[in-house]
Amino acid sequence: MDNIPTDFEILEDIYYRYYDEFRRYAKKEPDRIARIRVPIEVEEVAEACGVEKDMIFGRIFYHFNKKYSYKNEKGEITTFFSTEKFEGLSVNFPLVASVLSDMYAEKKRRDTFTILSGSAIAISVIALLVAFFL
């Protein structure tokens, strides 16, 4: 069975692939509707993740949009992913960066706790060996 890309892997690919595009936005003669909306090529992301483009589109459109879009206190909806008539498929790039940042922080916390737990187990095993053999 092929590996299924994680949300982290998909978002990381989108972030690094389109970061320069986000930064290139020209205020005087913009090449897209809004700076925060960066058009993406689902085929490129899918190829980098090693899956069919429909898999990436479905994950972004149905899963990420539902999970990360939100409504503010005024009732305005901020979507993670949209399909614009003139721009095609686009992501809210600052939202991608925020979600990815949260995922990095969670991974760091999880890794720290794993190291601490492993250290505690190692110390316990050493203590047991010392207690039995001394």
Q: What is the pLDDT of residue 86?
A: 59
More confident residue, 82 or 28: 82
- For the chain, what is the total number of helices (H) and then of strands (E)? 5, 5
Residue 2 pLDDT exceeds 70:
no
3-24: average pLDDT: 92
pLDDT band, residue 1 (cuts 50/70/90): very low
Give the gyration radius of the chain's Cα atoms. 21
CATH architecture of 7-105: Orthogonal Bundle (1.10)
Query: Residue 50 has which token pair?
Result: 């090693």
